[in-house]
Amino acid sequence: MLRNQIDKIRLLFCKDRESYLCFYRILGFYPRNIHLYEQALLHKSTSIRSEKGRPLNNERLEFLGDAVLGAIVAEILYKFFPNKDEGFMTRLRSKIVSRESLNIIAIKMGLSEEVIAKSDISKNKHIYGDVFEAFTGAIYLDQGYDKTKAFIENYI
């Protein structure tokens, strides 16, 4: 509760107020490090360079988010289906974290409206699911495992 009040006060003095409000509408909480979420929206066709010359886009966050998402879904299934075997849980996890499922979730969240890309992304069937995974990675780095798990439980 106190953390949320501090975030609202900080928002009053923030130059990126518009971005914080946009992410709040999507996430349900205010980001601490808004740059992670901005990077999660950057398709590799729009890569920018860091001060050290490293390309900045959502691919590394996508890699992390994929692993975190898989672990969270596995934990949820393990607890929800105590009498099911590994094969059942593996097949169900695969369906839940499939690109098709993640694309649908990302579109419902509104991430499809926020992706930044130079190329025509309408032909890329995976881009929104990739962005969802990158967002998962950003949440994990910004807020930690428990907040990420709550976010995933809310959308899946």
Cα dihedral value 24, 19, 102, 151, nearest 10? -30
133 given a catalytic annotation: yes
| Set 38, 62, 66, 114: catalytic member | 66
Q: CA 143, CA 32: separation in Å to the nearest integer?
A: 8
Nearest to 137 by CA among 50, 49, 61: 61
SS3 per residue for 89-111: HHHHHHHHCCHHHHHHHHHHHCH
Name, in order, each residue with C-beta under 8 angstroms of 26's C-beta and a sequence gap of 6 or more.
109, 110, 111, 114, 135
Nearest to 68 by CA among 136, 130, 135: 136
Q: CA 70, CA 34: separation in Å to the nearest integer?
A: 24
| Set 114, 130, 133, 142: catalytic member | 133
Residues annotated as part of the active site: 66, 133
